[in-house]
Amino acid sequence: MDEWGPEKVIAVSDTKTGMKGVLVIDNTSRGVGKGGTRMQPTVDVEEIARLARVMTWKWAVVDLFHGGAKAGVQADPESPHKEEILRSFVRKLSGEVPAEYVFGLDMGLTEDDAAIINDELGDRGASVGTPHALGGVPYDQLGVTGFGVAEAADEAAALQHLRGARVAIQGFGAVGHAAAARLDELGYQVVAISTAAGAIADPTGLDVPALLSRRHEVGDHLVDDFPDLRIEPGEELYVDAEIVVPAALQDVIDGRGASALRAQLVVEGANLPTSPQAQEILRERGVSVVPDFVANAGGVVSAAFAMEARYSPFRPETDAIFATVSEKLRANTAQILQEARSRSVTTHQAARALAQERVGEAMRLRGRSLPR
C-alpha cells in the first residue's frame, strides 16, 4: 500500500469448488471501481494489485470518471468447471458489486462469462462486456482495445515518420489480432506474430486477413500452418521491424531485452510489458514508447460507454465508440510523447504525472489525504 491505495483488498475462497480469487479496489476518488477480471492458474494478489493501479492511471489519463480496480480468479479458464467456479467467485463479492466494483473482461473471460456474472447476481449492471443479444457492448468481440492500440501506434508512427513501417506483434488474442487487423487496414506491414502455440515471422510480410481467418477456425494453432516461418517464442519482439507491439503478457521486456530491441517504436498493447529499467534504457536509446495505460485504453473507453448503458434499454452506437477511442487515444499519445521529450523523462513518467495530477485533485476535493 502507498499514498494512492489500494483502498480495499478482498481475498475469497470456496472449498467446495476450489475457487480462490481476489478483488483489489485501488483508488475511487474519481468514481466507482472498474476494471477487468482475469482467470488464470497463476493469478495472485500482487499481480492483481499492480493491474488495479494501472487502471487508476488509465481512467485518469483518458479523463473518464471511474476508479481503478481489478479482480482475478486462480483457475484454468479451460476447466469444465469454469462456470461453477466463476459463480462462486462473484457470489463471494456480492457485497461489493456493483456498488463499489463492476466486473469486466480480461484474460480467460468472455462475453458469455459476463452474462453468467449478471445472471448470478441478478443485476444486469454487475458486469459490462455482455453479449449483444443481452443489450451489452461486447468490446472484446468488437476488438475495441486492439483497434485503439493500432490508432495509438499510427499516431506515434506519424510523429516519427514511420507510417507504413514493419510491425511485430507479440500475441494474437483479443488485443493482438484486432491491432493487426487495423494496422493492416492502415497500410502497415505485419512481419511477425505469436500465439500461445508459437511464433512466426516473414520479413516480406504476413497475410493478415488469412491469419485472422485461420484464427477464427483453429485459434492459437494457426501458427501450425506455417512450419517454414516458425521462430522461437519470444523472438518475435526482436525481429527486424520498426514497430513492436507487445500485446500478450506482462514483464516481457527487461533491461537486457530493451538493449536488444531493433524497433524505433514500442506500443504497449498488454498491461505492464516493460520494466522501469527497460523504459529508461529505451529512452536513452531514442526508442519511443507508448505506455500501456495510454495505448490500450480503448477498452476502458468502450467500458465507459457500457457503464452508461448498463440499465438503459438503448445500446450505444458502435461507430460512436470507435470514433471516441480514436480521438482520445491519438490525442493522448501525441501529448504524452511531446511531454516526455520536453521534460527528458520516460513516457511512463510523463503519463503517470498527468494521471496523478488528476487523481490527486479529486482526492483533495473529496477531503482525502493528499499524496506527498
Q: Hey, which residues are catalytic here?
A: 70
Q: 200 pairs with which residues across the strands? A: 193, 230
- Any alpha helices (H) in 253-317, and if so which ranges? 255-260, 276-284, 292-295, 298-309
Nearby residues of 132 by Cβ (< 8 Å), 6 or more positions away: 138, 141, 315
For residue 352, the surrounding DSSP H or E stretch is helix 347-365
DSSP for residue 316: P
CA distances from 342 to 49, 158, 242, 335, 348 (A): 31, 18, 23, 11, 14
Residues paired with 34 in a beta bridge? 68, 102
How far is Cα 119 from Cα 72, in angstroms, rounded to an integer?
A: 19
Collapse the DSSP code of 78 into the 3-class scheme (helix H, G, I; strand E, B; otherwise coil) and give the result.
coil
The DSSP code sequence of 144-163 is HHHHHHHHHHHHHHHHTT-T
Tell me the sheet residues that pair with 72: 22, 38
Cα–Cα distance measured from residue 242 to residue 80, given in angstroms and rounded to the nearest whole number: 42
Helix (H) or strand (E) holding 40: strand 37-40
